Structure 1
Amino acid sequence: MTGTGGTAFTDDLLTPAASGDPYPLLHALRETDPVHWSAAHRAWLITRYDDNSASFQNKAFSSDRVRPLLAARADRPERAREPSASDTVLGLIADWMVVSDPPAHTRLRKLAAGAFKGQRIAAMTEQITAIVDTHIDGFLQESGPADLIAGIAYPLPATVIATMLGAPPEDRDRFREWSDELALVAFGTGGAARADRHERALRGLQEMAAYFRSLVEYRRREPGEDMLSALMAKEGDDRLSDDELVAMCALLLFAGHETTTNSIANSILALLRHPEQLERLRAEPELIGTAVEELLRFDGPIKVLNRWVVAETEVRGTVIRPGERVHLILASANRDPEKFTDPDVLDIGRSPNPHIAFGKGIHACIGAQLARTETRIAVARIVERMPGLALAGDPEWKSVLASRSLEALPVTHGGGRS
């Protein structure tokens, strides 16, 4: 495609340059072709804030993108005899709220809402703080450069989720492994070199489903104060089936782990690259709430949300037809100058801040409050306890479309505080 002034540029969001810093490309798309057909992605790229915001309410854009895939696979002759392991995993994912439309989505969200009540998440603040401090304690034992993701941002959410679901502490390492395997299957693999790893991941996810099923059976006999017990509570005459409960546990693990890891890591990186904002937060720790909202806007954990088109619709004068695919680019919407003043400037005091880092409407992330809580606590404690924190190298970004994810975040901590 051609940008401002006739300069040609790629629309591929998976090039090394775009993976490292997608914002120049997204700026060019917003300015020159905000509803752009990308041959590289075989999808429409929607980059303006108002268009993204309206798309969440557009019934022509469907989130139900797994069941049609399962149906198409089932129609193939080679699938007629016995479902594969990948079919089994897709069947698990098909029960996730994020890939369902009303009325199925409405029912699942209503039944899950009780487990995600604000009071329940708020009551976990002390527990999450203790988990964060335990990870920071371990990280401060490292001498020299160390990876903040491996030490804190990655293990923290899995530990929190395992605790919330009432899983025994000794099982928490398995939760991290299963989250990685879900990411591998959900985002696919590249090349024959990863085929064996893919098969191992599928076997691991079957193990995960069996584990959650046994945990469901246990909590049905012995209810507790955990989130799984809350998910099992009846809503009138309706309740989540065992398959739906297993799928809900898997969704909480995958979405909660991936999103929160990225939120924490991206937030710390942004602060380190904007030392004046980091020092402002140290001087005014009460800004942590608005700071996290701005960090989510500035470089949030979710880059792209995918939608299938089920009815002809029009966006900014462009006709989009059934059977086509749409990428809602949240990373671009949250840097739209039509919505945000100086959108490329990080301002931890920015208010109001109507970003859509976690989506909007009925498909807004149900775990957003949990992710915000973990990120607020983790960022605040890291900033407070590591006054000498500094980058120890150039971070490397993963080449993935859906998320904004770092491979590693090498830092030095300068000793830290107890």
Structure 2
Amino acid sequence: MTGAIADDLLTAQASADPYAVFDALRRDDPVHWSETHRAWLVTRYADVSAAFANKAFSNDRVRPVLAKQQARRAESGEAADRPATASERVLALMSGWMVVSDPPVHTRLRKLAAGAFKGQRIAVMDAQITALVDELLDGFLAGAGEQDLISEVAYPLPATVIATMLGAPPSDRDLFREWSDELALVAFGTGGAARAERHERALRGLNEMDAYFRGLVAQRRAEPGEDMLSAMMSTDESDDKLSDDELVAMCALLLFAGHETTTNSIANATLALLRNPDALAALRADPSLLNPAVEELLRYDGPIKVINRWVVAETELAGRTISPGERVHLVLASANRDPEKFTDPDTLDLTRSPNPHVAFGKGIHACIGAQLARMETRIAVGRIVERLPGLALAHEPVWKDALASRSMETLVVTH
């Protein structure tokens, strides 16, 4: 039965609309071994939730891949002193990120970073983000004819916010965007023609980014400010502080995770509203719907399709035995459309309550920047709805063939 199920998430059809594939997997084989992806695809809400709490599914998922690559090289008889490949060097740099670690390492890093993500620190950014959105929309409105809402609004906004948060000049946002794109080639499993060169491109971006953030860390150590980087340097734990290497890794993680996911959230939300004109009209008529609308938009077509886990102990999930050394793809986008959890899951209901979606993960690894991502999405979507009453889709969007992210290349509209 399992061999007959279409499970390639990187086809053009699945990239454009993965939900038919997810529906079939949930119905016919909800914990499915995919030969295509060499991983288990977990698609039901209950199973995804159980997996988040299962210690057999490790978030320390970069180091094992690096170790496998190094072992294969050793088995092939390559000289031990041969320089590491681009892929190995990229994985080595990413292996120190908090988001790919387990307790106790993860617990320590998250605790030391938590001060920079305090609710009150994020809340005071509301006016600043609103001003940035309005500035971008001013430029967008100055144009005529068909325009790409992603390149003009959804793409530059998070990069500018992150640059400001880290105390970097907003003019450096183009660098931030470039580095984020290079990292996405590896982290989100991009397919197609980019596959062969993605590690070389990502390595160049990582090296440039590492040098930049080391300079910024040195500057903030000498001259602390009110920015998030300075906040991560100060802690109540007098005997434990983030090292320079850890601070650089935190900056890289904030840049990558904060940029890609927020861009996708804004773009996907706008497209969902354009394709559901009744919901768009309701939001225009009643702006108080904005907060629940953002939660529903995140559930309906969120920024991340898949989160990966590495199996470290034999375990069972929905009657399937999963073995150490295997990979598991927790399909968040499928869990968020599970009819056993959500009534009429394929319907965009801006008043849906409760709405326990897993767009930002769950448990100890839930996204530390979720509050900021929600704020940026809420403000951007709210201002787009208010300031672009004539917004209309000009062409069907072009979707990226990425395994993990739910992202468009372009969203061409008229206003």
TM-score, normalised with respect to structure 2: 0.94
Name the SS of the counterpart of 1:37 in structure 2.
strand
Moved over 6 A (4+): 191-194
Shift in alpha-carbon separation, 1:178–1:55, aligned structure 2, 3 A: same
Contact 1:309/1:325 (<8 A) preserved: yes
Give the deviation of 1:204 after TM superposition: 2.9
Give the deviation of 1:173 after TM superposition: 1.2
Q: What is the percentage of aligned positions where both structures have the same residue? A: 75
Which of 372, 391, 394 aligns to 1:392? It is 394
Shift in alpha-carbon separation, 1:197–1:338, aligned structure 2, 3 A: closer
Contact 2:86/2:199 (<8 A) preserved: no
* Equivalent in the alignment of 1:110: 111
* Equivalent in the alignment of 2:328: 326
Which of 10, 14, 25 aligns to 1:14? It is 10
Moved more, 262-271 or 130-139: 130-139
Name the CA distance, whole Å, in 1 between partners of 2:365 and 2:191. Answer: 29
Query: Are 2:64 and 1:64 equivalent residues in the alignment?
Result: no
Contact 1:185/1:202 (<8 A) preserved: no
Q: Which amino acid aligns with 2:135?
A: T
Shift in alpha-carbon separation, 1:327–1:201, aligned structure 2, 3 A: closer
5+ long unaligned stretches in structure 2: none
Name the CA distance, whole Å, in 1 between partners of 2:89 and 2:163. Answer: 23
Name the CA distance, whole Å, in 2 between partners of 1:315 and 1:190. Answer: 29
Name the CA distance, whole Å, in 2 between partners of 1:192 and 1:275. Answer: 36
Moved more, 379-388 or 175-184: 175-184
Give the deviation of 1:319 after TM superposition: 1.0
Give the deviation of 1:190 after TM superposition: 5.7
Name the CA distance, whole Å, in 1 between partners of 2:375 and 2:226. Answer: 19
Contact 1:56/1:361 (<8 A) preserved: yes
Give the deviation of 1:196 after TM superposition: 5.9
* Equivalent in the alignment of 1:412: 414
Shift in alpha-carbon separation, 1:22–1:192, aligned structure 2, 3 A: closer
Shift in alpha-carbon separation, 1:166–1:317, aligned structure 2, 3 A: same
Name the SS of the counterpart of 2:329 in structure 1.
strand
Name the SS of the counterpart of 1:328 in structure 2.
strand
Moved more, 139-148 or 9-18: 9-18
Q: How does 1:261-272 map to 2 (within 5 A)?
A: 261-272=263-274
* Equivalent in the alignment of 2:149: 148
1:324-366, Cα deviation, whole Å (9 max, x unpaired): 1111011110011111111111001111100011000001000
Give the deviation of 1:83 after TM superposition: 3.6
Equivalenced residue count is 409
Contact 1:89/1:206 (<8 A) preserved: no
Shift in alpha-carbon separation, 1:193–1:33, aligned structure 2, 3 A: closer
Q: Which amino acid aligns with 1:238?
A: D
* Equivalent in the alignment of 1:166: 167
Q: Which amino acid aligns with 2:394?
A: A
Name the SS of the counterpart of 1:44 in structure 2.
strand
1:87-106, Cα deviation, whole Å (9 max, x unpaired): 34322211111110111111
Q: CA RMSD in A?
A: 1.8
Contact 1:73/1:79 (<8 A) preserved: no
Give the deviation of 1:169 after TM superposition: 2.3
Shift in alpha-carbon separation, 1:159–1:309, aligned structure 2, 3 A: same
Name the SS of the counterpart of 1:215 in structure 2.
helix
Contact 2:159/2:173 (<8 A) preserved: yes
Name the CA distance, whole Å, in 2 between partners of 1:357 and 1:200. Answer: 28
Q: Which amino acid aligns with 2:26?
A: R
Shift in alpha-carbon separation, 1:33–1:193, aligned structure 2, 3 A: closer
Shift in alpha-carbon separation, 1:86–1:316, aligned structure 2, 3 A: closer
Shift in alpha-carbon separation, 1:275–1:227, aligned structure 2, 3 A: same
Give the deviation of 1:84 after TM superposition: 4.5
Shift in alpha-carbon separation, 1:204–1:34, aligned structure 2, 3 A: closer
Query: Are 2:49 and 1:53 equivalent residues in the alignment?
Result: yes
Name the SS of the counterpart of 2:308 in structure 1.
strand
Contact 2:217/2:229 (<8 A) preserved: yes
Name the CA distance, whole Å, in 2 between partners of 1:339 and 1:393. Answer: 33
Give the deviation of 1:188 after TM superposition: 5.7
Name the CA distance, whole Å, in 2 between partners of 1:124 and 1:87. Answer: 38
